[in-house]
Structure 1
Amino acid sequence: MLRLRECVVSLLLSSPSTSAIFPLRRFLSATASAPIPPNPSGFAVEEYLVAACGLTRAQAIKASPKLAHLKSPANPDAVLAFLSGLGLSGADAAAAVAKDPRLLCAKVDKTLAPKAVGLAGIGLSRPEIARLVSLGPECFRSRHIVSKLQYYHPLFGSFHNFLRAYERSSYLLSRDLDKIIKPNVAFLHECGLAACDIVELVMYRRGILTTNPGRLRAMVACAEGIGVPRGSGMFRQALYAVAFQSEEKIAAKVDYLKTTLRWSAAEVGIAVSKAPMLLRRSKDTLRSKSEFLVSEVGLEPTLIAHRPIVLTYSLEGRLRPRHYLLKFVKANGLLDRDHSYICAVGLTENVFVKKFVCPHIEAAPHLAEDYVAACRGEVPTRFIFD
């Protein structure tokens, strides 16, 4: 144990950049406080996981077969002390061990401490390293962890952004960097996507960067197939919309749009190319919005096809309340000219209120509160017309 502590101290002191990151005194005190019997016989792994690591009995039963070869708590105690030195709470350490029981078998001096030093050397803070261990203890043990994060850091712009993506897609650290990740990133760059676009894709469509390169190329071909060319401003949304959807499912959604909105094939093509996210909307959502826009607002299906973004707005939070308000101000002669609903519904909330609510507060004192009520899903009596 003395040799272990000396090795860890040597590793940590050998990297000046880590002097402020790893409080050695805290690490050593945590290590020293861990009771380590010399060579106890009959080491009970399951009991140790519960008593020392804080796992539930069920977690301990599941994890103990992976640690059946352990004959002593010496190495697990050292690992727990190391995790404490990084700043992991008892609950965080327990969660990490539950995810990766073999973490307790890792050598602190040969595996864990060098990884921590390497990550500190590329700019990660101690809390960031601790968070990484909590999220992916198995990946933290990987010999490629430092080189992978060296690659990801500039791509994601910050370690915080990477962690957000990693929480959604743990394969980012387990997939082969040279065979999968780098080819996919290079191909997406060829398609006109900047690093920030790629990050957005990873944040909201997990797996898109870690999928097989051949499958990614098929997704790109599918995005082009719905009328959105590479390099266009809408391409990222199109790729997001078709990712991991089968051709059959996309074709079924296109047919549903034709039937529900009475669109021709050409009109569907126009609508989908302008608002690819329609392919991600549920059938019930599309039906309720189309019925409202056509039957209640009175919009022509052809107009909606050319302004399909209207189908992506919230029915209860935007489409209905703005329709009610415009209908009220028109019926009460408060507008000096007619205004297009489809243009008004596209305005930001602040602009809409400034243009259609604020000018009429004197003539209609309850207009603002009625509009707020309508946005909550209520229908004020003043907004009801026969």
Structure 2
Amino acid sequence: MLHLRQRVLSHLLSAAPHPSTSPLLSLSTAAAPAVSPNPSFAVEDYLVSTCGLTRAQALKASAKLSHLKSPAKPDAVLSFLADLGLSGADVAAVVAKDPRFLYAGVERTLAPVVAGLTGLGLSNAEIARLVSLAPGYFRCRSVISKLEYYLPLFGSIENMVRPLKHDHFFLRSDLERVVKPSVKLLAECGLGACDIAKLFIRTSRMLSAKPGRVLAMVACAEGIGVPRGSVMFRQALHAVSYISEDKIAAKVDYLKKTFRWSDAEVGIAVSKGPFMLARSKDMLKRRSDFLISEVGLQPAYIAHRPAMLTYSLEGRLRPRYYVVKFLKENGLLEHGRGYYTTLVKTEKVFMEKFICPHKEAAPHLAEDYATACKGEVPARFRFT
């Protein structure tokens, strides 16, 4: 047992950033007698000195480990995690998230789970990353069958990790009763495998929603004017998944008032840009004030091009408007050139089309544009 503890210490200490920044595993040989079952074994102290938790974290975690009378089982788990490649900081995070992980059976549970995931093509580093994000689910062998289904569904381990950082409850969802029927329904609505993956990456809560709830989302998306099979259907599902029908109606009314849209125009705008339903009122109001009051665009023009509302006000809408206005005022760009066409250009293309060709006539244009992108208005971009 002493040999095991020393092995744990050597693995995790070598992975820790620096002794001065990580308290993990500061046990000495003099503490070895505590390895034997001992009524005086202090769980809270073990969590601090061996697992690297703060005293506050250890106090909270120890309540779930009160039955532990010996470090034998936790030592075995820590050794297993070290072999898997988790750093000292990672181990501390795992234990803080799920203290019960310390008494998971290595031979009975953890080793078979890792073997199963390795069989799915995951590397030790990928498995370690998943364990760090959602340790509680890796104490059950059922996670193997879950990931066997989810990995092809998401398309890659990276795609699955993205929602897992914020919401790991989909790992608990019943595949046969909840997930698979919902996936089938979405496929019947015209979404391809790639679209379904993108939807779940952004809206993983749909994997936990019962099929009836997903069907209601589909009906709601159709209700705002986005039919099944349309290119915007996935975005519409994403938008309505966050808000109730009452809030959708309220947001539509707000859009009408803020952008001065008629019923027909707001219908066009929402069907082309359902993302607006999930945007904050402040964000929408600021863009409305700029596009209508400052740029002078007509409400109907914006309604048919709602994509412009997705662009950063400070990083794209204002700076490019200033450039276009400067070029027109100085006779370097025909006045008929539309503002929207400049917005949809990539940064590289915008520079090539509207900045670089005017180096001689407007040598400070690139510098002024860069300044405008930082939220400032250069003197040359101010017109009376």
Identify whether the pair has TM-score above 0.5, normalized to the shorter chain.
yes
Amino-acid identity (%): 63
Q: Unaligned stretches of 5+ in structure 2?
A: 13-28
Residues 134-170 of structure 1 deviation map (CA, whole Å, 9 limit, x = unaligned)? 1222100112011111111211222222222222221
Instruction: Work out the number of aligned pairs and report it.
Output: 363
Report the CA distance shift for 1:79/1:300 in structure 2 as closer, same or farther (over 3 A). same
Contact 1:168–1:206 under 8 Å retained in 2: no
Partner in structure 1 of residue 274 of structure 2: 276
Partner in structure 2 of residue 115 of structure 1: 113
Q: Distance in 2 between matches of 1:151 and 1:28?
A: 37
Report the CA distance shift for 1:123/1:300 in structure 2 as closer, same or farther (over 3 A). same
Partner in structure 2 of residue 223 of structure 1: 221
Partner in structure 2 of residue 368 of structure 1: 366
SS in 2 for 1:285: helix
Give 1:379 deviation, angstroms. Answer: 1.3
Partner in structure 2 of residue 349 of structure 1: 347
Contact 2:76–2:106 under 8 Å retained in 1: yes
Residues 20-49 of structure 1 deviation map (CA, whole Å, 9 limit, x = unaligned)? xxxxxx889869x99573432332222222
SS in 1 for 2:321: helix
Give 1:346 deviation, angstroms. Answer: 2.7
Are 1:233 and 2:231 an aligned pair? yes
Partner in structure 1 of residue 205 of structure 2: 207
Give 1:110 deviation, angstroms. Answer: 0.9
SS in 2 for 1:207: helix
Contact 1:241–1:279 under 8 Å retained in 2: yes
Residues 73-129 of structure 1 deviation map (CA, whole Å, 9 limit, x = unaligned)? 221111111111111122211221121111122221111111111111221111112
Are 1:48 and 2:40 an aligned pair? no
Partner in structure 2 of residue 67 of structure 1: 65
Matches within 5 A, 1:240-319: 240-319=238-317
SS in 2 for 1:67: coil
Pick aligned residue for 2:380 from 369, 379, 382: 382
Contact 1:168–1:203 under 8 Å retained in 2: no
Residues 48-80 of structure 1 deviation map (CA, whole Å, 9 limit, x = unaligned)? 222222222222221222222222222111111
Residues 243-271 of structure 1 deviation map (CA, whole Å, 9 limit, x = unaligned)? 12011111111101111222111110001
Q: Unaligned stretches of 5+ in structure 1?
A: 6-25
Report the CA distance shift for 1:28/1:289 in structure 2 as closer, same or farther (over 3 A). closer
Whichever residue aligns with residue 95 of structure 2, its letter is V
Q: Distance in 2 between matches of 1:358 and 1:170?
A: 48
Partner in structure 2 of residue 16 of structure 1: none
* TM-score scaled by length of structure 2: 0.88
Q: Distance in 2 between matches of 1:329 and 1:221?
A: 47
Q: Distance in 1 between matches of 2:100 and 2:334?
A: 73
SS in 2 for 1:335: coil
Partner in structure 2 of residue 17 of structure 1: none
Residues 196-232 of structure 1 deviation map (CA, whole Å, 9 limit, x = unaligned)? 2222222223412222222221111111111011111
Q: Distance in 1 between matches of 2:325 and 2:226?
A: 36
Q: What RMSD over aligned residues (CA atoms) do the two structures have, in Å?
A: 2.4
Q: Distance in 1 between matches of 2:9 and 2:347?
A: 56
Partner in structure 1 of residue 26 of structure 2: none
Pick aligned residue for 2:323 from 319, 322, 325: 325
Partner in structure 1 of residue 154 of structure 2: 156
Are 1:131 and 2:129 an aligned pair? yes
Partner in structure 2 of residue 141 of structure 1: 139
Larger mean Cα displacement after TM superposition, 157-166 or 241-250: 157-166
Q: Distance in 2 between matches of 1:359 and 1:351?
A: 12
Report the CA distance shift for 1:91/1:311 in structure 2 as closer, same or farther (over 3 A). closer
Report the CA distance shift for 1:79/1:267 in structure 2 as closer, same or farther (over 3 A). same
Partner in structure 2 of residue 338 of structure 1: 336
Q: Distance in 1 between matches of 2:57 and 2:381?
A: 58
